[in-house]
Structure 1
Amino acid sequence: MLKRLLIVLVCTSLLATMIPTQVMAKPQVSARNAILIEQSTGRVLYEKAANDKHLIASITKIMTAILAVESGKLDDTVTVSRNAAYTEGSSIYLKEGDKMKLRDLVYGLMLRSGNDAAVAIAEYVGGSVGGFTYLMNDKAAWLGMNNSQFDNPHGLDSKTHYSTAYDMALLMRYAMKNDIFKEITGSTSYKAENRKYAWGNKNKLLTRYYDYSTGGKTGYTRAAGRTLVSTAEKDGMELIVVTLDAPDDWKDHMRLFEWGFDNYEMTKVQNKGMETFKIKGTDETESGFFNKDIVVPLTKDERDQLQIQTYFKKEQNNQTVNDVIGKKVFKLDNELVAEASIYRESEQENEEKNQTFVSDMLQIFQQLVGVGNPNG
């Protein structure tokens, strides 16, 4: 009986080692380069050759659009030049001398991918196409798009016009923080003031294929292949996908979105408010204030594996409410996922202290001068 029990235990142990652990299999995509990131944190959830430089075609127009929006001139009227009207490639059929609001041109740029609109925007906002490309590259450098270079506002092929999946995700993440841009890219159709018909959006994820789609930009040239940037939101999570040279880009994006939504959940790792910490190796404590909740996308396994470390600066004189006295960092496999600054105290607590101080001083003053003293 004992021998039989031992055999059963050994077999059970062997079977346990043979059963594969649940692995979060990454989706297969047709794209040469691809990336999936979460909007609020910028955390990379999936990547495939995401830092390789490549032609990007019309997804270039995301940069053109956000610069136009940020110019503050959307209600200005633009006169279309001959240079803009005769730009090759996709078009909204502008004619030399046409007058159109800059806002309408941006919609034509994003929904119909008008190269003529791109040049008209560039000439008006930047003074010239050359001046506008300077603004594009300046913005790219500011955003940390370190493997990108722009030399036109529309994305027609050029050896000196390129980007990466990662850099374009950075750009889209930045652009989607702008409410006007977000409204434009998320529009299924738009009718300009001087057009008799509405423009339909070429982004089929938004108009036909994917219920959670919130925007994006398509692109194609023979040399670049199909390029696509798209966004989606589900259950409070906003995701961005970029694919370059992807023959089956619609399905690539839907696969990546569904994989992200199925496996990750926005998880609060730090609450806003005061917190007291015990200083390691001592009996001392330190208190600090977090000015916002910290929420990051995590898998179920990652929630248990999250490494949390807290650091405090050495005590300094004359610290004020806005002084950062430390930080809390959140890591997975020693890779930074998020961090939160720790402040001396909240603005509210500081204001309450000031009010208490003023009240105490007023009471002392009244006692000294005898105000309110019934025996005076």
Structure 2
Amino acid sequence: MHRWLVLLISVVLILGQSMTVPGAEISDTELYAKGACLMDGDSGRVLYGKQADIGMAMASTTKIMTCILALEQGELQTVVTASDKAAAAPKVHLGVKQGQTFLMENLLYALMLESFNDAAIMIAEGIGGSVEGFAAKMNDKAKEIGCADTYFVTPNGLDAADAGGSHHTTARDLALIMRYCITQSPKKEDFLRITQTASHSFWDCENQVFYNCNNHNTFLSMMDGALSGKTGFTAKAGYCYVGALQKDGKLLIVSVLACGWPNNKSYKWSDTRKLMTYGLENYQYRDIYQTGLLDAPVPVKDGQYAGRLGEDEAFGILTYKDGREAENPKQMLLKEEESVEVKADIPEKLQAPVKAGTQVGSVSYLLDGKKLVEYPVFLEKSVKKIDISWCMKRVFLVFCNKDQ
């Protein structure tokens, strides 16, 4: 009887470790990962973070950046030749020989499905001329995406350092890179096609060696709506993962860093499922858009107008230039208790002259005091300043009306 009771308690504890309760917050202690991030893929907002801004090694999750850069800056049918550096890459690898040639497209499948390190070096040298040249491109792209604490040294994620620092990222930055790959890059469809492929076979360009690559991203079959992802492991980084899921109209991205070491390979899947489930069950899209914020015109002191002589104010009409009003977020993923504050920063009065297209204010959406998005407000029409010529014309019109 005692043994059955112990077994029952153990089962309950195991289930408790892998399940989330709707409405309940996730405690950092519930996750194996040292660094983790759950991100709204639409807005880029972090819905949950555990040491999400602490720099950590990220192993082969690096390869999502390698892949998207190659897609954007290279050609799929380019022939790439293996250097001695690529041939010397450690396992996991294709096992290429120096001088062997491959199509760039096949190398990208080898990179993302099997995580081959020599494929990463060949891609880097094919795009950047050298590993160092490609790493510079990776770092430039990271800044462009908005990463705050990411530094690339290698295209494959093997532990390394140079004069600029150690190879690392943060859970937030890694999620941002994945968001870019699947929603913002002009090559996002190609990225998804490659990372969703179950298997891919190819020959080298000499038709001497045949290769077969199988996708090792377990997450693709683990949850309905799984979109993409990349695993990683090194002795320094531990098990890492970044993945995306689209379900119930929501796009969620999860990254986990330092999520266990051997023999705890499954921890990254447990954490990923927990965070994805938390996002699905606790966040819903709610309307946040407020109309009428720009309905009232702003007085323009000393502005020319069509009213009575003696008035000193015209009125400036405000607008979101170039259709920016339509770009305002109509909905946002929010918890039940969350609400968005909308703040219009518009002057009470302007001084003539003012020119059409001039930014005169902004409308901001804030959550818990943090700005989510800001849209500039512009003048729709120019307003000239009252001058002698305008005054003379007004006097003339007044006298003409009296004569009639």
- TM band (smaller chain): 0.7 to 0.9
1:149-179 C-alpha deviation (Å, 9 max, x unpaired) = 2211111112421111112112112222232
Structure 1 unaligned regions, length at least 5: 1-21, 347-376
Higher mean alpha-carbon deviation, 187-196 vs 68-77, is at 187-196
Separation in 2, partners of 1:102, 1:125: 10
Is the partner of 1:242 in helix, strand or coil? strand
Contact 1:276/1:285 (8 A) holds in 2 = no
Paired position in structure 1 for 2:343: 309
Measured after TM superposition, the shift of residue 287 of structure 1 is 4.5
Is the partner of 2:239 in helix, strand or coil? strand
Paired position in structure 1 for 2:235: 222
Structure 2 unaligned regions, length at least 5: 1-21, 261-266, 300-314, 382-404
Please tell me the residue identity of whatever aligns with 2:247.
K
Separation in 1, partners of 2:268, 2:251: 19
Paired position in structure 2 for 1:169: 175
Measured after TM superposition, the shift of residue 127 of structure 1 is 0.6
Measured after TM superposition, the shift of residue 193 of structure 1 is 5.5
Higher mean alpha-carbon deviation, 25-34 vs 284-293, is at 284-293
1:90-109 aligned at under 5 Å gives the runs 90-109=92-111
Q: How many matched pairs?
A: 318
* Residue 333 in structure 1 maps to residue 343 in structure 2: no
Is the partner of 1:258 in helix, strand or coil? helix
1:147-296 aligned at under 5 Å gives the runs 147-159=149-161, 160-176=166-182, 177-178=184-185, 179=188, 180-192=190-202, 194=204, 196=210, 198-206=212-220, 208-247=221-260, 248-270=267-289, 276-277=295-296, 287-289=318-320, 290-294=325-329, 295-296=331-332
Higher mean alpha-carbon deviation, 42-51 vs 293-302, is at 293-302
1:312-360 C-alpha deviation (Å, 9 max, x unpaired) = 256475644x6544322121221122333445569xxxxxxxxxxxxxx
Is the partner of 2:241 in helix, strand or coil? strand
Paired position in structure 1 for 2:17: none
Cα distance change of structure 1 residues 99 and 68 upon mapping to structure 2, 3 Å threshold? same
Measured after TM superposition, the shift of residue 134 of structure 1 is 1.7
1:281-330 C-alpha deviation (Å, 9 max, x unpaired) = xxx9964341324132112221xx3211112256475644x654432212
1:13-162 aligned at under 5 Å gives the runs 24-26=24-26, 28-159=30-161, 160-162=166-168
Q: TM-score, normalised by structure 2?
A: 0.71
Cα distance change of structure 1 residues 259 and 121 upon mapping to structure 2, 3 Å threshold? same
Please tell me the residue identity of whatever aligns with 1:339.
E
Cα distance change of structure 1 residues 323 and 107 upon mapping to structure 2, 3 Å threshold? farther
Cα distance change of structure 1 residues 334 and 116 upon mapping to structure 2, 3 Å threshold? same
Cα distance change of structure 1 residues 249 and 317 upon mapping to structure 2, 3 Å threshold? farther
Measured after TM superposition, the shift of residue 47 of structure 1 is 0.3
Measured after TM superposition, the shift of residue 97 of structure 1 is 2.6
Separation in 2, partners of 1:335, 1:262: 24
Measured after TM superposition, the shift of residue 215 of structure 1 is 0.3
Aligned alpha-carbon RMSD (Å):
2.8
Contact 1:137/1:149 (8 A) holds in 2 = yes
Measured after TM superposition, the shift of residue 278 of structure 1 is 7.8
Cα distance change of structure 1 residues 296 and 319 upon mapping to structure 2, 3 Å threshold? farther
Contact 2:23/2:281 (8 A) holds in 1 = no
Separation in 2, partners of 1:285, 1:108: 59
Separation in 1, partners of 2:194, 2:255: 19
Separation in 2, partners of 1:271, 1:308: 8
Separation in 1, partners of 2:360, 2:113: 48
Cα distance change of structure 1 residues 72 and 83 upon mapping to structure 2, 3 Å threshold? closer
Is the partner of 2:80 in helix, strand or coil? strand
Cα distance change of structure 1 residues 263 and 338 upon mapping to structure 2, 3 Å threshold? farther
Please tell me the residue identity of whatever aligns with 1:182.
L
Contact 1:330/1:336 (8 A) holds in 2 = yes
Contact 1:268/1:293 (8 A) holds in 2 = no
Please tell me the residue identity of whatever aligns with 2:341.
Q
Separation in 2, partners of 1:345, 1:265: 36
Contact 1:272/1:292 (8 A) holds in 2 = no
Cα distance change of structure 1 residues 308 and 81 upon mapping to structure 2, 3 Å threshold? same
Please tell me the residue identity of whatever aligns with 1:80.
A
Contact 2:317/2:379 (8 A) holds in 1 = no
Cα distance change of structure 1 residues 338 and 144 upon mapping to structure 2, 3 Å threshold? closer
Separation in 2, partners of 1:272, 1:153: 47
Measured after TM superposition, the shift of residue 274 of structure 1 is 9.2
Percent of aligned pairs with the same amino acid: 34
Cα distance change of structure 1 residues 318 and 198 upon mapping to structure 2, 3 Å threshold? farther
Separation in 2, partners of 1:153, 1:200: 20
Separation in 2, partners of 1:36, 1:126: 32
Is the partner of 1:267 in helix, strand or coil? strand
